[in-house]
Amino acid sequence: MTRGALFDLDGTLADTSGDLIAAANATLAARGASGRLDRATDAGLSGKGGRAMLRAGLARSGAPAAEVEPWVEAAFPLFLAEYEAAIAVHSRLFEGVETALETLAAAGWRLAVCTNKPEGLARILLAELGVLDRFAALVGADTLPVRKPDPRPVWAAADRAGAARGRSVMVGDTTTDREAARAAGLPCILMDMGVSADVVAELDADAVLARYADLPAALERLRPPA
């Protein structure tokens, strides 16, 4: 049965925090909120999604709590537009990603992306980063009616990539990825690349790695060739 490596995107394959924070700040400014996010200190917050960033920025503006959610929902389409317009200005693949993907493909692994970023934006970003064609499947936040940590996007990523669910591994960087893998009945490797919203080393993963050079061997240990 064919093995599958199912990758999260933001914080796992690439550091996308700079462009996400820039889009949040542009949205806050356009909507008249004074609060701003900082690329250096708020990088982890970007991994929680656009709404979380907008909430944080609005809270720093001193908005009453009752106004936050309606404001965020009204502003979210603008955030998506701002992000799409400048999606790969600062974003970069982590060191070693391309080599690891080549190594895995050569060993017969089927590769897929399973992200909570909208599928269209994920597709654009992966193309801009030059790795879209490395993946046999892409499942985003809006591909199915549900998103991670529900197991169904994980299963769909494996199925669409042509990998056996029982021979696949989730590769992520957050509690959400670990919980999705657990719900799907898969092992989980977490990449600790310094931009996660969570303390990766404290999560109950099958392996925690700080270098992509170590990923192929870790995957082979979890899913040896049949």
Active site residues: 8
Locate tokens 């992966």: which residue?
A: 126
Q: Is the peptide bond before 77 cis (omega within 30 degrees of 0)?
A: no
- CA–CA dist 86, 92 (Å, integer): 13
Q: Quick check: 210 and 195 in contact, CB under 8 A?
A: no
Judge whether 198 is annotated as a binding position: no
The answer to whether the annotation marks 8 as part of a ligand binding site is: yes
Region of 8 please: left (phi>0), alpha (psi -120 to 50) or beta: beta
Residues forming beta bridges with residue 35, ordered by sequence position: none
CB 193 within 8 A of CB 175: no
| Cα→Cα distances 218→44, 173, 212, Å | 25, 15, 10
DSSP single-letter state for residue 176: H
142 is known to lie in a ligand binding site? no
Strand partners, 139: 114
User: What does the block give as tokens for 95?
Assistant: 């060191």
Feature table: binding site for Mg(2+): 8, 10, 173
Feature table: binding site: 8, 10, 173
